[in-house]
Amino acid sequence: MTPICQVALPVPRGETYDYLCPFPVTLGARVRVPFGPRRLVGVVTALGHASEVPGNRLKAVLEVLDQEPLLGQPELDLLNFAARYYQAPLGQCVATALPKLLRNGKAASPVLNTRWQLTAQGRTTEPQTLARAPRQAAALAALQASESALAAAQIGAQGTPSAILKALADKGLIEALNHLTLDSHEVETPTLNDAQASAVEQIRSASGFSCHLLDGVTGSGKTEVYLALAREQTRLGRQSLILVPEIGLTPQMVERVRRHTGARTVALHSGLADGERHNAWLAARTGEADIVLGTRSAVFVPLARPGLIVVDEEHDSSYKQQDGIRYHARDLAVRRAQQFAIPVILGSATPSLESHFNAAQGRYQHLTLDHRYGQAKPPRISMIDLRGQRCPDGLSNALIARVGQHLEAGHQVLLFINRRGYSPIMLCHDCGWTALCERCDARLISHQRSRSLRCHHCGHQRPIPPTCPDCGSEELHQLGQGTERIDARAAQLWPDVERIRLDRDQVSRRGELEAALERIRSGQAQLIIGTQMLAKGHDFPDLSLVGIIDADQGLYGQDFRATEQLAQQITQVAGRAGRRDIPGEVVVQTHNPEHPLLGLLAPGRYARIAEALLAEREQLAWPPYARLALIRAEASTAQTAMNVLEEIAEPLFGSDDIDVLGPAPAPMERRGGRYRCQLLLRSHKRSVLQAQLGHIRQQLETRPSARQLRWSIDVDPQSL
Ligand code: ADP
Ligand code: ZN
Ligand code: ZN
């Protein structure tokens, strides 16, 4: 009898598909199979001799792509878990876990299209010193002139042969990108202070699975704690997986990891070329890499000899995927550590309420670093009451004065406003017309530079009208402010100061962010105006003042996480100030100076905020005191979406274990011309909720009325 294998395929429906397999094949190997008119690559997730599909309808595997399993049992277990928990097709989970070339059937061996970059020595070596090897000198000069790593074909006008590059690499002047080793004598291992050493000791003394919440104020040296442990793992011959938020994975971070550990380090993120990602993933799988530094999807990477998992800035919302499979990488990381029976560290200056709660319950060990490393003091925080003040461009006189003083002293200043563009409200003073998006329930944001009104939700844009489109009045006012307006005002106030604006309009590609951060780090830019892009993890030594232009934005948020996120954001931005010897100052502009949340923003007090917010969550039965799942539906009319959700909700009303909230229009009902509704389910019992979700998913997949919808199920939604 021909064996039958179950194959997870990258298709939107179904769990796995059965195929006859006339060839020898192992679990976790890739196979190529016919699927309708197409041929697809999938992963074998089960082997057997029986199928529910009648024998004459079973098709056969065309080709076995891996002689050895590409995904091991631990990875398959994790993917199975993720598929069940997040109500996603297994094949799509598998597709998320694999880098593109492997998804497309490429052999599981490294590809050779490496890019090359300078080493520290290469950056400072004059090409003339290689005069006797002119082609090496030319290649070195070309790399020095480039801002980024280059493939051999891009080095010099005609490209550079690999023998020349190899010679430069042998001299230690260049290296292949993303496969980083150091000579041991270049490794610097900082001496830990007592608080750091004690955290390391406690994590090290745990055996088997253990989860540690490393709750340390910004600048307390959490990263050095991770690296000390990762260094030890490397020495013991075990791998460390370090997850960081998307924007936290800078070349500086990679550099710091390798310099402080000396380990063979690979990075895994979406900014890599396909070949680099492929190679890095394989290096993790074979165990050739000691440390894997990756963003969200790296949580799925196979590890040959796992020893430690770290989730840095664990509160960061970029760990939750917002489309496709809506998994949370932090939660899966904990699950993986459990599977492997190894420690996992969740680090943050502003832990999520979930993690805070788990620590309070004793499920996670709570480790704290209460002070900044070295001489750095916590920043001083003060409020500026905006009530009754006129400041159309967003900067109060008091803030302008403070900024002036810090700039005068030669320090850097950061003005934080979490909105890009010039102004969020364009209003006719005569008739009250405002600029709205035609396709969304949203205002258009004016952008001065491009003289356009833009929708930040659907991308619609049109020119700024010269007069009111309704009444023809010329009295068009722009209310409120975004980064562009603050920048324009700053240009008037401090014309001689070098400014930099950091938001998604300015910095859309990875290289641009690098360049901008470098201008800040080098001290070239003195005044920085930016969005939350700046709030995370960056270390700017000369920054002494952080001005928060509008703390009120988050105070009125509707979402149940709005206050948590506001508190995290402000604490994180404030944490950029005064990280070295210069004392830091944070000035918060608000119309609500008495708001209890703002009163709690002083450094080291985040725990108090977290407790207050947790008490509120408990009272309202929101997570972590209950579990949520959000079913979203969108259609060309609101009624279509509502009807289906009502059908789905109907049998749940009256259930003892599940609260049904809605269905109701989504907070922004119309978006991109489609109508969006949602149904929120809440339960104290995860298993009950899971069972219902499985049933609902089946309904949505099979009901004829649901065919007119785009729908999704979001388990543990990050926002509603
Ligand atoms: P966190 O990750 O908690 O924000 P970092 O690990 O980035 O903090 O540390 C803040 C600053 O203090 C960094 O510049 C770092 O190099 C420095 N630092 C932290 N710990 C040490 C140490 N043990 N020895 C020397 N410098 C340290
Ligand atoms: Zn008008
Ligand atoms: Zn729109």
Q: Determine the Cα angle at 444 with ends 438 and 449, to 5°.
A: 130
Q: What is the mean pLDDT of each run of 10 residues along the chain (720 residues)?
A: 89 86 92 94 91 84 94 94 94 94 91 77 88 88 81 79 85 76 71 95 93 92 95 95 84 85 89 86 93 95 97 94 93 97 96 95 94 81 89 90 94 92 94 94 92 92 94 93 94 94 79 81 90 74 88 77 84 78 86 81 77 91 94 93 91 86 90 94 92 91 87 92
5 labelled binding-site residue: no
Ligand 1 near 640 CB (within 6 A): no
Q: What is the CA radius of gyration of the chain?
A: 27
Contact 241, 298 (CB under 8 A): yes
- Site to probe by mutation for ligand 1, drawn from 225, 373, 573 as the one with most ligand atoms within 8 Å of Cβ, is 373
Ligand 1 near 244 CB (within 6 A): no
200 C-alpha vs ligand 2 centroid, how far in Å? 64
Amino acid identity, position 454 = R
540 C-alpha vs ligand 1 centroid, how far in Å? 12
Tell whether domain 380-422+479-616 is in CATH 3.40.50.300.
Answer: yes
Ligand 1 near 221 CB (within 6 A): yes
Q: Say how far apart CA 64 and CA 407 lie, in whole Å.
A: 64
Ligand 1 near 28 CB (within 6 A): no
* Burial class of 302 by CB neighbour count within 10 A (0 to 12, 13 to 18, 19+): buried
Residue with tokens 């090359």: 116
For residue 656, the model assigns a pLDDT of 83
Contacts of 127 (CB under 8 A, 6+ apart): 137, 138, 140, 141, 144
Which atom of ligand 1 has the smallest separation from the CA of 349?
A: 3
Ligand 1 near 340 CB (within 6 A): no
Contact 156, 142 (CB under 8 A): yes
Domain ranges of the chain: 4-104, 113-179, 194-369, 380-422+479-616, 627-715
Q: Residue 320 carries which DSSP code?
A: B
Report the 10 Å Cβ neighbour count for 407.
Answer: 20
Report the chain's terminal Cα–Cα distance, integer Å: 52
- Site to probe by mutation for ligand 1, drawn from 193, 214, 223 as the one with most ligand atoms within 8 Å of Cβ, is 223
C-alpha count within 13 angstroms, C-beta hemisphere, residue 301: 36
Residue 208 backbone class (left: φ over 0; alpha: ψ -120 to 50; beta: rest):
left
ipTM: 0.97
Written as six digits, the tokens of 48 are 């057997």
CATH of domain 627-715: 3.30.70.600
429 C-alpha vs ligand 2 centroid, how far in Å? 7
CATH of domain 194-369: 3.40.50.300
93 labelled binding-site residue: no
Domains 4-104 and 194-369 share a fold: no
| Ligand sitting nearest the alpha carbon of 436 | 3
| Ligand sitting nearest the alpha carbon of 455 | 3
Residue with tokens 């006012």: 477
For residue 185, the model assigns a pLDDT of 61
Instruction: Give whole-number Cα distances, 649 to 27, 643, 707, in Å.
Output: 39, 10, 17
554 C-alpha vs ligand 3 centroid, how far in Å? 21
21 labelled binding-site residue: no
Contact 533, 311 (CB under 8 A): no
Ligand 1 near 216 CB (within 6 A): yes
The protein residue whose alpha carbon is closest to atom 14 in ligand 1 is: 539
- State the CATH architecture for 4-104: 3-Layer(aba) Sandwich (3.40)
Written as six digits, the tokens of 292 are 């894997």
599 C-alpha vs ligand 3 centroid, how far in Å? 36
For residue 454, the model assigns a pLDDT of 95
211 labelled binding-site residue: no
Written as six digits, the tokens of 562 are 């709005």
Bridging pattern class, strands 380-385 and 476-479 = unpaired
The protein residue whose alpha carbon is closest to atom 26 in ligand 1 is: 190
Q: Say how far apart CA 132 and CA 446 lie, in whole Å.
A: 58
